[in-house]
Amino acid sequence: METFRTYFILLALVGLFSSCEETIELDLDQTEERVIIEGLVSTQSDKNFVKISKSSPFYVAGSTPRVTNAVVTVSNQEGQVFTMVHNPGNHPDSSGIYIPDPPFSGVVGHTYFLEVSFDGLIFTGSDKMAPVIAIDSLAWGLSTSGFPNLDEPEHIYEVLLYAENVIPDRNFLLFKFYRNDTITGPETNSIFTADDQLIGDKIEGLSAPVLFAKNDTARVEIYSLSQPAFVYYNDLFNVLNNDGGLFSPPPANPRTNLSNGALGFFQASALSTDSIIVDPDN
C-alpha cells in the first residue's frame, strides 16, 4: 500500500511539471517541548525496549533530549510486571532507552500495559499483541523492473518475499527491510504497512523496496500490528510526507495510545523474520 501512496503524493506534485523549489527560513513559534515515548514488546526478547525523549525546536539539529530518570514498567493482563532498566550497558547512543531486566518474550493474544513516570508526570499506554503471518521464504533474482540507481550500479538484485496469510481475523502488518543490517525506509520517509483486507491469502514475490549487490545480506521483518498501531504508522507516514495541506490533509500529530499528551506509541507485536545472502556465484 505504501508504494502506492508514495506514488500518489509524488505524482500530485510532479504532475505540475514545471515546479521549482528553494529552501526558505521559517519564523516559527517556540512551543514547549513534548514527551515522546516509543515502546515495543515483541515475541523476540532482545527486541523489547522503551525509549523516552523530548521534542526539539524545528531548526535545532542533533540528538533530541533524552529522559534518563524515568521509572518504567511493563505488565501483562495477568498482572505480571517486567521491570525496565535505563541503559544497562551505559552506551552513549542508548541514552533514554530502557531494557527489560530480566529479558522476557511477549505472548500473542496478551495485552501489555506501559507505565512511565518521571518529574511527577505519569504516562500510560496499552496494546494487544496480534498474531503475525510467518515468512515462508525469501528469494533473490536479477531485478526485472524498478528504477536502477545510477549511483549504485552494482545493486542489480531484487529480493522477493513469500508468505501465506492463514490468520482468520483482519490483521495489520509492518514490514522492515534491511540491507546488510541497514534499514530501508527512513531516508525516504517510507513506512511499509499492510491491511490484509486489501492483500490476498498469499504474498507471492513481494519485492523489497531496495536493490542489492552481490554478497549483500537481505533481512525482512514482519511485525503484527493492532489496529491503533496501524493507524499510528499511517499517521506518522502522513506527517512525514505532508505537502503543507494543499493536496494532502493539513498535517497533524499521529494518534497515539499514550496518555497525558505524550507522542509516540507503545506497540505489542509478534515478529516473523528471515534473511538471505545474495550469492549469484554459488
Partner 1 sequence: MRTGLTLIILLMTCLNIVAQDRATINGYVRDASDGEELIGVTVVVEGTGAGAITNAYGFYSITIPQGEYNIIFSYVGYDREVVPVQLNKNQEMNIELTAEVREMEEVVISERAIDANVTDLRMSRVDLNMNTVKKLPALFGEPDVIKTIQLLPGVITAGEGTSSFFVRGGSADQNLILIDEAPVYDPSHLFGLFSIFNADVLKDAELYKGGIPPRFGGRLSSILDVRTKDGNNKKFAGNAGIGSLASRLMIEGPIKKDKSSYIISGRRSYVDLFLRAAGEENLVYFYDVNAKVNWRHNNNNRFFAAVYLGRDVFTVGDNFSFGWGNATATFRWNHLFNDRLFSNLSLIASNFDYELGLLDPVQGFSWTSNLRELTLKQDLAYFISPEAELEFGYHVTYRGFAPGKISPADNGSIFLTTELQKQFALDHALYANAQTKVSPRLSLNYGLRLSLFQNLGPFDLYSYDDPDNNVDPVRTDTTFYGRFEPLVNYLNLEPRVSARFLLDDQSALKASYNRMVQNTHLIASGTVPLPFNTWSPSSPFLEPQIADQVAVGYFRNLRNNELEFSVEAYYKDMDYVTDFADNAQIFFNEDLATEFRQGDSWSYGLEFFLQKKEGDLTGFASYTWSRTFRHVPDVNLDRTFFANYDRRHTFNVVGAYDLNQSWSFGGNFTYSTGRPITLPSGRYEFGEGFQADLITDRNSYRLPAFHRLDLSATYSPKKNATRRFKSSWVFSIYNVYSRKNPFTIYTRIAEDEDGNIIGDGTQKEARLIYLFPILPSITYNVNF
> Does position 57 bind partner 1 by CB under 8 A?
yes
Instruction: Provide, rounded to whole angstroms, the least separation between the CB of residue 193 and partner 1.
Output: 12
Contact present, 45 and 104 (Cβ < 8 Å): yes
* Pairing outcome for strands 263-269 and 35-42: parallel
Q: Which is nearer to partner 1, 18 or 90 (CB)?
A: 18
Instruction: Looking at residues 237 to 266 of the shown chain, list those that interact with partner 1 (rule: CB under 8 A).
Output: 238-240, 242-255, 263-264
**Sole binder of partner 1 in the list 114, 135, 203, 222 (CB under 8 A):** 203
> Does position 181 bind partner 1 by CB under 8 A?
no
Q: Which stretch binds partner 1 (CB under 8 A): 20-28, 41-49, 83-91, 217-225?
A: 20-28
Instruction: Provide, rounded to whole angstroms, the least separation between the CB of residue 216 and partner 1.
Output: 18
Phi-psi region at 58: left, alpha or beta (left = phi > 0; alpha = psi -120 to 50): alpha
Q: What's the angle, vertex CA 205, arms to CA 204 and CA 210, rounded to 5?
A: 150
What is the distance between the alpha carbons of residues 170 and 60, in angstroms, rounded to a whole number? 42
Q: Which stretch binds partner 1 (CB under 8 A): 69-77, 106-114, 192-200, 272-280?
A: 192-200
Q: Which is nearer to partner 1, 79 or 168 (CB)?
A: 168
What is the distance between the alpha carbons of residues 92 and 63, in angstroms, rounded to a whole number? 11
**C-alpha cell, 8:** 500518489
- In b/e form, how buried is each residue of 176-185, taking b as 16+ CB within 10 angstroms? bbbbeeeebb
> Does position 20 bind partner 1 by CB under 8 A?
yes
Binding mask 62-91 for partner 1 (x = CB under 8 A): xxx---------------------------
